[in-house]
């Protein structure tokens, strides 16, 4: 990912916010058969406020399991809200019209090593934690639990999946939020984000106002 310093996201709380609000990740793998991309929810574990590993599961018939081995390199991408930015949104356009369109967005890339988990204990933990996390996230008053389903049914379902663990070796995060523009243009784009109902980007720009523009 091309990452100029002024767009580099170093705020761990903002990185967590992106993952929490946009939890469907893209897992990119490479094998002798070429590149593959899969979209799946993953849980992230932190230690000392640093991302350590990602956990999830795939169908046992997913080619990832056949085509890749433990410790293969993988890339996991999270992408938050994005928006086209028109030059018309810059008040300074009237000075010399030397402005062009761009795109604002946020993304987090995790580079790591994949490991496959097949034991029942690991699978139950992954599925249980994923379920608990997202049942709470969507606000279920009585969150669904694995034990709500018959044991034989769960056993059958677990036999059809493989757990994945990705040990993170490098993190790159980007918040391209018009920080390279002057304050007048920055604030104008921020207002447009709210008008266009890009509430996540608007909040992100407020955070940048607090950390980058003061």
What's the rounded mean pLDDT across residues 67-87?
Answer: 98
pLDDT at 194 over 70: yes
C-beta neighbour count of 114 within 10 angstroms:
20
Reported pTM: 0.93
Segment 29-34 shows an average pLDDT of: 96
Question: What pLDDT was estimated at residue 208?
Answer: 86
Alpha helices, DSSP H, located in the chain: 12-21, 63-67, 93-96, 120-137, 151-158, 183-195, 199-211
Question: Which of 147, 75, 80, 140 has its CA nearest to residue 112?
Answer: 75
The residue extents of the domains of the chain are: 5-86+102-180
**Local structure of 25: helix, strand or coil:** strand
Question: Which of 121-125, 138-142, 188-192 has the least mean pLDDT?
Answer: 138-142
- To the question of domain 5-86+102-180 being in CATH 2.30.110.10, the answer is yes
Q: In terms of Cα–Cα distance, which of 38, 192, 21, 40 is closest to 106?
A: 21
């Amino acid at each position: 990912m091309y990452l100029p310093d002024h767009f580099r996201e170093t705020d761990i709380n903002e990185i967590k916010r992106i993952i929490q609000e946009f939890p469907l990740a893209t897992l990119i793998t490479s094998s002798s058969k070429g590149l593959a991309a899969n979209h799946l929810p993953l849980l992230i574990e932190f230690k000392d406020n640093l991302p350590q590993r990602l956990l999830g599961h795939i169908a046992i018939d997913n080619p990832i399991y056949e085509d890749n081995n433990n410790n293969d390199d993988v890339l996991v991408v999270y992408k938050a809200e994005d928006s086209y930015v028109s030059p018309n949104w810059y008040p300074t356009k009237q000075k010399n019209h030397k402005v062009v369109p761009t795109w604002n967005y946020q993304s987090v890339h995790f580079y790591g090593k994949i490991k496959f988990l097949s034991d029942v204990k690991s699978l139950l933990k992954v599925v249980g934690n994923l379920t608990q996390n997202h049942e709470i996230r969507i606000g279920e008053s009585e969150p669904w639990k694995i034990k709500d389903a018959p044991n034989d049914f769960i056993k059958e379902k677990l036999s059809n999946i493989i757990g994945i663990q990705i040990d993170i070796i490098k993190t790159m995060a980007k918040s391209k939020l018009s920080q390279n523009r002057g304050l007048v243009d920055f604030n104008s784009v921020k207002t447009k984000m709210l008008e266009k109902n890009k509430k996540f980007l608007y909040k992100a720009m407020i955070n940048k106002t607090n950390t980058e523009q003061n």
